[in-house]
Structure 1
Amino acid sequence: MKLAPHILFDPAESPLSFAARLAKIHIGERLVPFLRDIDIDLGDMAANSEKALARLAEVSGVAIEDLRFNVAVPLGERTYDLRGELVSAEFLASPHTVYCPACLAQDDRIGLRRGRWEWALSVVRTCPQHEIPLVRQAYANWDDKFHELDHRVPERGAGLAALVSKAPHRPVSPLQDYVMRRLDGNAGPEWLDAQTLDQAARGTELLGVLIAFGPAQNLPQLSPDDWDHAGRIGFNFTSRGEEGIREALEVQFSSFDTATGTPGARKIFGCFYNALAGSKSLKEPGDIARILRDVITERIALPAGRKVLGKKLVERRLHTVASLANEQGLNSVTLRSVLVAADVIPENAPSHFPIPVDQGREVAGRVKRTVHVISLPDFMNCARPLVDQLFSDRLLTPIYTGSPGIRGRTIKSVDEKEIAMLVGKLHAKAVLTEAPLAGLVPISKAAEKAKVPAIIVLHLILGGFLDRVFRLDGQEGVGALLVDSDEVRRQKDRVTMGLSSVEAFSPLKIAKEVGWRLVDQYQAITGLTVIEISGPDRSHAIRRFDPDSVARFSATFTTPARLAEQHELQIGEVVKRLKRSGARPVISKAEIGMDLYRVNALKRDLFLRNQGQVASLKCREKIQVRVCASVNAASL
């Protein structure tokens, strides 16, 4: 049986709306009696089941493909097929009845009301034709599930006009536009297209909620307008794929940088994390969960075996100071100081600051192997002055307490492994002897005779410049080495060209660690040039400074200490005047441990001791101007 007359199916209409129109035209009744008359189960029709659609197509003469195209067909377990896209029940607006009052007013003028199929989608919240928010009516009675607009929306004429007039104007959100274009078969942003439609829309909205309303937001308390706003914001990030999503998550993470305690993923990402971790609407939330998991494991110190969004962390990737100290059996205060000095964590790092596991364990290993500076002379069997020279020439790397620019920063210890390597290299250059040979003397004595620091003798040994190097059997360290003092005298000029670090930095009033940092990180600014000298053993380079570059640096740059010495002022007074004048350092104390200024950027009278000196200086300048003018006039 086919109904007559034949009624055309509107391509923008939902099957339920079409059935309601048929009921009005053919029997002048509401939908329920009509469905019973044509033998369609009420529950099947409300659910848009395949059986109900097939019967409606049969009696109406409309192709079932046209009906199915405009509805989410249930597949079971709250999953639906919408134009080839798998969506969940939460993707649909049901049980709410959704409509645009302007569209209904238009329908009333030209015929029967039609429910647009897109109104059944939760992400569709704005009418694309009239650009006003859609109205959502909650489920009240058992037959509201049929969404009969003539019955559910009693307003007509002036009533609809009033609804339209008070509705705010807004364009369709980019997320809604993306969803509708995708359902029409159009390609969109690559990352979003790689997700199911459900995952793309829900993930975008959840990310937008986190950004717009914060991690503590209770999702059920959000209004449709709130969700629309969230979708607009979230789309700015998800449309750029993983890069955009990471950007949003990193911004959220950084807002907890200074938080006290140890905030976890649920605290930082709150509703977003909880929704992805336990959402009933998304059994598989898609790639956005993997991105969040990666950000969490890259930024938060978690133990091996901890579950993050359903997946166990195979091995620990990050430590905090506390967890690292506990793992390594170290005092956390001592370990923290060394980590700060090693530039692994900043001085003001919060307790949850993440430390890469390998880097943290390497520093912890050094702490366990440390030899205190006071013990170094005995440990290496050498004099204390040589220890200082080893630090100055960077043959040993000191472990400090404090960070650059922090008062009280001191060398506390050295890694025993590094000491062993240096001593091992020296011993490898020496021939073992049971008794001192004629003409051979200890390192310290050879340095005294050659009138050079003991470090120069070590450089000569390591660089392969000396042929006669011996080590007394049964003795260890530097003190066990014997060299020919005459050979040291002959070879010393080969490794003493230019200036040593001490000779370069001391006149500049720069600590050696600051000077080397200028060379390592700011050479392009300072112009300090290092000369590398190699001998027969090219694996050892002796680093000296070009005197001309040091002289140019001295003429171009200055420090508060040099200014204080030059003008016979206290450093505190110099710093006060520099700040008062607005002078800015080229390189700051926070960067290298001291402030470095350009000489020509400082006012000439800034450090004169009183106003009389200032007046005298100005007077001399005026006299010089007059003299120059007179000379010029005479020459004419």
Structure 2
Amino acid sequence: MLQLFPHLRFETDETPASWAARLSVLHGCSTLRTFLSDQGIASSDFLHGRRSVIDRLCEAAGQDAAPVWHNTAASVGNQNFTLRAEPLPASMMVREETRFCPLCLHQDDLLGGDPGICRRDRWAWSLRVVTTCPEHGIALIYRGRDHRDKMQRKLIEHIPERGGALVALAEKATRREPSPLQTYVLGRLEGQSGPQWLDGQTLEQSVRTTQMLGVVMAFGTTINLGSVDRDGWDLAGRMGWRWVAAGEPGLHSAFAELQAAAFERGQGGQNYFTVFGHLYRWLLEPGNRPDHGPIKQLLRDYILQNMDVCVGRDLLGERIERRRKYSVQSLALQSGLHPQTLGKVLVERGLIGAENADKPASILLVDAEEGRQAAASLSRSVPFVQLPALLGATRPIASCLIDLGVLTPLTRSQGENTRDKCGFDALEVEQALEQIHVMVPEMSDVPAEWVSLNQCSKRARIPMRDLLQMILSGKLRQIGRAQGELGFNSLRISIENIRLVAS
């Protein structure tokens, strides 16, 4: 194959289309399409980054193909490309407009000669996430293309300004530092490492996660995405970076902040469509690329741990098989209990902080298993006045068992006669009774000198509380229970053994 002369070197920061356009000007072709046709290359194959046509042009121009191929976005079908081994959808690439930095083009023009030959279209400008010139710190300028053929035209045709006109464009442009998301993307395409959590995802997942989280953090969960302009998406990327760069803990903090904001707005914080807005809706939309990355599972886990989600509901594509949290209200409805009474029991058990006791039952969450156990205890509750009969004991004995922690009030009332207002778990009462029956065996012949608990307390002058504590600790040896009798009143004790142990 005859080589083109003169030679025009490919610059490492430009696109293959930019280099081909400069070659076409150098060799006097009116259009890029004509130039490529003269080389036996179909323009559509060239724009899709076919390896064979890139190699063909490089061979004709006497150019090493490696740096050209390095900057080539090659089509892999179905509107997907690869750039430097990174898969990229067409939506992440700029196809319908020309983006440029006027100061970069002004520098190109200062090299002298025909601007059609000197001006380079940087490969970074072809990425939608790149909105700021990393060299000059100004926002890129956009020129629309009303037809796909204009993708093949020379850069000078899209941007006719030269000299002072380019400088004037730069003076009007917004001054800003490149966003950390843009810096991360360009660095990753240069082979650099970034935050570990982002590096473990595709480039599309990393960018979309950052932007979608950022857009709801920056503009609220009800923002109309169609109203977010280029600068808005740039801001979203900057805002989202703060959270995604910290990995899973950062995402968890962001979700918690969105939920807290819903509480402050008076929206309850339990409806995940309301709490997470377009972030949640985005994760619901499969589109052509259903894999949104790890953020989907992270948000699902957060919802399960921090919201009231019932069994059987579809949550981000997966059916809920096991409930992890109840709100006090939903638990009360399921168990047929009054939410205020249930809330007091949950506070007593430390399942809800006392400082949150006055909050609405619809927003107070409790662990599902522990909550069900507490509700079951309340459903089995018996009042204090029934304890003596259930325990086969006197009222003072029942009171001492409460003081010793053998029986625990489900709630603690304030004021006088509090025990009369307290409920107790009937199962706990049964366990206390079973414990004493196991510790104190039945006796066919109880010695006549052994006495009941009340008699022992009076005659040995030992407080009932201390006497019960000695029995429950297993310190007494001469103790028994009349055959066929149950409860604490059936116990018989040797006074002499009590005195010996007490001394």
SS in 1 for 2:411: strand
From 265, 278, 289, the equivalent of 2:296 is: 289
SS in 2 for 1:284: coil
Question: How far off is 1:7 after superposition?
Answer: 1.6
Contact 2:262 2:269 (8 Å CA) reproduced: no
- 1:444 aligned partner, one-letter code: N
Residue 103 (1) aligns with residue 104 (2): yes
Residue 319 (1) aligns with residue 326 (2): yes
Residue 217 (1) aligns with residue 223 (2): yes
CA distance in 2, matches of 1:318, 1:384: 39
Residues 30 and 144 of structure 1, relative CA distance in 2, 3 Å threshold = same
CA distance in 1, matches of 2:432, 2:446: 23
Residue 226 (1) aligns with residue 232 (2): yes
Residues 138 and 475 of structure 1, relative CA distance in 2, 3 Å threshold = farther
From 369, 372, 384, the equivalent of 1:358 is: 369
- 2:261 aligned partner, one-letter code: S
Residue 251 (1) aligns with residue 262 (2): no
Provide the residue aligned with 2:13 in structure 1.
Answer: 12
Contact 1:125 1:134 (8 Å CA) reproduced: yes
Question: How far off is 1:437 after superposition?
Answer: 4.1
Provide the residue aligned with 1:459 in structure 2.
Answer: 469
- 1:426 aligned partner, one-letter code: I
Deviations 1:231-277 (Å, cap 9, x if unpaired)? 22322332222222222222223333464556322221112222233
Question: How far off is 1:434 after superposition?
Answer: 5.7
Deviations 1:566-607 (Å, cap 9, x if unpaired)? xxxxxxxxxxxxxxxxxxxxxxxxxxxxxxxxxxxxxxxxxx
Residues 409 and 40 of structure 1, relative CA distance in 2, 3 Å threshold = farther
Contact 1:16 1:147 (8 Å CA) reproduced: no
CA distance in 1, matches of 2:153, 2:177: 25
Residues 260 and 201 of structure 1, relative CA distance in 2, 3 Å threshold = closer
Question: Where in structure 2 are there 5+ consecutive unaligned residues?
Answer: none
Provide the residue aligned with 1:504 in structure 2.
Answer: none
Q: How does 1:28-427 map to 2 (within 5 A)?
A: 28-110=29-111, 111=115, 112-146=118-152, 148-257=154-263, 259-261=266-268, 263-278=270-285, 280=287, 282-345=289-352, 346-350=356-360, 351-400=362-411, 412-427=422-437
CA distance in 2, matches of 1:70, 1:330: 67
SS in 2 for 1:256: helix
TM (norm. structure 2) is 0.89
Question: How far off is 1:74 after superposition?
Answer: 0.8
CA distance in 2, matches of 1:394, 1:263: 37
Deviations 1:301-348 (Å, cap 9, x if unpaired)? 223343333233332212222332344454444433322332222313
Deviations 1:497-529 (Å, cap 9, x if unpaired)? xxxxxxxxxxxxxxxxxxxxxxxxxxxxxxxxx
Comparing 371-380 with 451-460, greater Cα deviation is found at 451-460
Residue 21 (1) aligns with residue 22 (2): yes
Aligned residues: 490
Question: How far off is 1:299 after superposition?
Answer: 1.2
SS in 1 for 2:137: coil
Question: How far off is 1:56 after superposition?
Answer: 2.9
Residues 279 and 151 of structure 1, relative CA distance in 2, 3 Å threshold = farther
Residues 234 and 281 of structure 1, relative CA distance in 2, 3 Å threshold = farther
Question: How far off is 1:20 after superposition?
Answer: 1.4
Residues 79 and 361 of structure 1, relative CA distance in 2, 3 Å threshold = same
Residues 311 and 62 of structure 1, relative CA distance in 2, 3 Å threshold = farther
Question: How far off is 1:401 after superposition?
Answer: 5.5
Structural RMSD (CA): 2.6
SS in 1 for 2:63: coil
Contact 2:479 2:491 (8 Å CA) reproduced: yes
CA distance in 2, matches of 1:427, 1:188: 67
Contact 2:404 2:469 (8 Å CA) reproduced: no
Question: How far off is 1:40 after superposition?
Answer: 3.0
Question: How far off is 1:398 after superposition?
Answer: 1.1
TM (norm. structure 1) is 0.71
CA distance in 2, matches of 1:475, 1:251: 61
Residues 281 and 189 of structure 1, relative CA distance in 2, 3 Å threshold = farther
Contact 1:97 1:147 (8 Å CA) reproduced: no
Question: Percent of counterpart pairs with the same letter?
Answer: 34
CA distance in 1, matches of 2:58, 2:374: 75
SS in 1 for 2:277: helix
CA distance in 1, matches of 2:289, 2:245: 20
Residues 292 and 482 of structure 1, relative CA distance in 2, 3 Å threshold = same
Question: How far off is 1:485 after superposition?
Answer: 3.5
SS in 1 for 2:256: helix
Comparing 343-352 with 115-124, greater Cα deviation is found at 343-352
CA distance in 2, matches of 1:305, 1:58: 62
- 2:32 aligned partner, one-letter code: L
CA distance in 2, matches of 1:25, 1:409: 99
- 2:62 aligned partner, one-letter code: G
Question: Where in structure 1 are there 5+ consecutive unaligned residues?
Answer: 494-636
SS in 2 for 1:400: coil
From 471, 481, 500, the equivalent of 1:471 is: 481
Comparing 416-425 with 254-263, greater Cα deviation is found at 254-263
- 2:428 aligned partner, one-letter code: E
- 2:380 aligned partner, one-letter code: R
CA distance in 1, matches of 2:267, 2:386: 39
CA distance in 1, matches of 2:276, 2:148: 39
SS in 2 for 1:323: helix
> Per chain length, whose mean CA-contact separation is higher, i.e. which structure has more relative contact order (CA < 8 Å, sep 6+)?
2
- 1:481 aligned partner, one-letter code: L
